[in-house]
Structure 1
Amino acid sequence: MQKKQKEEAEAAGYYWLVKWRVQLFGRQWNFMDIASVVVIFGLHCLALLAPFHFNLSAVWLAMALYVLTGLGVTLSYHRNLSHKSFKLPKWLEYFFAYCGTLALQGSPLEWVSTHRYHHQFTDTWNDAHSPIKGFWFSHIGWIFDYGSRFGSTEGRLNNVGDLRKQPYYIFLHYTYPFHSLALGFLLYAVGGLPFLVWGLGVRTILYLHVTFAINSICHTWGKQVWDTGDLSRNNWLFGLLAHGEGWHNNHHAFEYSARQGFEWWQIDLTWYVIRVLQAVGLATDVKLPTETQKKRKALCNKKFSKDRLETIVNDGKL
């Protein structure tokens, strides 16, 4: 590790969390790996209590938080912060980013950093969560291997300089787990165990696995319609469950696009919200691919060109 990287990591205040290591199950684990196991396991245990604490108010609450925190991930973390697909007023940008922290998928800095590296190294060994490393690793195993998210542990956050300049995102980075903890106390205070179990446990675990499925299932099963040079697939089920993120081949073809469900039947809740915000003047500089760009990327056009070339050659016209 270069001295400059080490100094930057130490200055960021997290180096001690990843420097300490213990040997378990044939590999080294740092503090962040173990903390991730504890949190994920605890949330699963909490969610398993759902049948014993069922009531309709708690279920409706979980559904509302599922949509709101999910939009925090898809609209804010992903399309706004990672890809800059559109712009929002700072107060609204920060609101959606805060909703994202309550999804318990990491701080905005970490989530965006991992995702930008994912697009830089898609489906290679430097990709944090590609199925080429194994389906279950791409689904959830990568969460427990902190260093693999960034290629090298000390290299993390080097690609989010635009966000690190903003004190708000630094604040969320250092305080990120405490916001969900506070939400848990609030849910328990308002509605007891049913609100806690459904509003935190069930809702969080469900959306975590839906998001994880974009990395695993949507790089394994589904349809490819664009020439992306990777394993990304469109999957209608996760298009529904992940607020439009399941149209993953669309996204990898045009990662800058604010819209991922290009066809009328490709349901994209995140895009609908962006479109409403655009209509009222809150979302600006909304980026979309042109029809010319789509034609260049379309696999059907490339296949047609290849078939036509073979026909010409076989007919002796070339």
Structure 2
Amino acid sequence: MLTEAAAAAVSGRPLVPPSVGRVRFDAFKSLWLWAMLVPGLVFGIPAVTPATLTASLVMAFLTLCLGHSVGLHRGVIHRTFEASPLVRGALLYLFVLSGLGGPLSWARLHAVRDYWQNQEDCPPYFAYRHSVFRDFVWNLHLRFDAADDRALARLPPGVMEDRWLRFLEWTWPLHVLALAAVTFAVGGAGAVAVFVCARTAGGILGHWFVGYAAHVWGEKRHVIPGVTESGTNVWLLGVLSFGEGFHNNHHAFANSARMGMRAEEVDLGWLSLRALEACGLVQSLQAWDRPAKNRKDAGRAVEHGP
């Protein structure tokens, strides 16, 4: 078990000051990852068929693009568009089926990380000044408990009190397990290993790796004064992660639903939102190339380079 003291010994300094919070080993988080990864590798690879692979890729798009990137990240955390409770609730349910975790836990951690990365004295746990192996341990096996709730002011009003979000927060593993049960009834154990286990593990590892890479490698086009982290743009990961890998763009224009800014920066999350807008399912869609509408990030960054 990797305790906070052990993690601090590995890093050479406390991961966060006691006044900020504490970092500790999260047994459930670690177990969930490996319980998905091992069966996905051992039993999923031999069981792959064109049908299970196609179904898994479609489900990955629905849960990671529409659920995580569009529904939770751009919709709830940054409120870059408006939608009816039914549409918003459906997108958040898709996020839960990704197996990444509870929506409120993700929103809370995002707010805290965003708060400290925009300070000059960002603690090591939130700054990307360490190796990819260390980040793998920190982000996928540890959890952060904040000492106060000041960072939650970065979230739109009412997020932490939302009844649907609170329900999903407490029950999210049950929905993934229910999906596994239905998959088993339809396609057997091999289908579960591919469609649920391998897909979930791939989503967890993919999200973690894109988050690390899009802070350490790639192009930093926008310079944001007075911050510790301003992200980078990694073209291939940006395309594969539905726009999330264009992270320097996102740091510079955090309240923009559009993360790709150049023609080659294909942002499938943004294209999905435009399709939802055309169908009348979302409204008031904000983007860096649309009227600001009270965006706090307007004019915040300086663009450098060609």
5+ unaligned residues in a row in structure 2: which ranges? 9-21, 293-297
Distance in 2, Cα, partners of 1:267 & 1:235: 12
5+ unaligned residues in a row in structure 1: which ranges? 1-20, 302-318
State the partner residue of 2:12.
none
Distance in 1, Cα, partners of 2:301 & 2:29: 42
Deviation at 1:242, TM superposition (A): 0.9
Q: Is the 8 A contact 1:240 1:246 kept in 2?
A: yes
Distance 1:54 1:156, change over 3 A: farther
Deviation at 1:142, TM superposition (A): 2.4
Q: Secondary structure at the match of 1:146?
A: strand
State the partner residue of 1:181.
177
Deviation at 1:133, TM superposition (A): 4.6
TM-score by length of 1: 0.78
Instruction: Give the alignment of 1:69-218 within 5 angstroms.
Output: 69-71=63-65, 72-122=67-117, 125-126=122-123, 128-147=125-144, 150-152=145-147, 158-159=152-153, 162-218=158-214
Q: Determine which structure has more spread, i.e. the larger CA radius of gyration.
A: 1
Distance in 2, Cα, partners of 1:118 & 1:30: 13
Structure with larger RCO (C-alpha < 8 A, sep 6+)? 2
Greater helix proportion: 1
Equivalent position amino acid for 1:120 in 2: Y
* CA shift digits 1:149-184 (9 cap, x unpaired): x444x7599555622322111111111111111111
Aligned length: 278
Deviation at 1:141, TM superposition (A): 2.2
Equivalent position amino acid for 1:85 in 2: T
Deviation at 1:132, TM superposition (A): 2.1
TM-score by length of 2: 0.81
> Is residue 2:303 matched to residue 1:298?
yes
Larger deviation: 66-75 or 103-112? 103-112
Distance in 2, Cα, partners of 1:236 & 1:300: 16
Distance in 2, Cα, partners of 1:22 & 1:66: 31
Equivalent position amino acid for 1:142 in 2: N
* CA shift digits 1:117-143 (9 cap, x unpaired): 221111754475432254334345223
Distance in 2, Cα, partners of 1:272 & 1:23: 42
State the partner residue of 1:35.
28
Q: Secondary structure at the match of 1:73?
A: helix
State the partner residue of 1:63.
57
Larger deviation: 116-125 or 259-268? 116-125
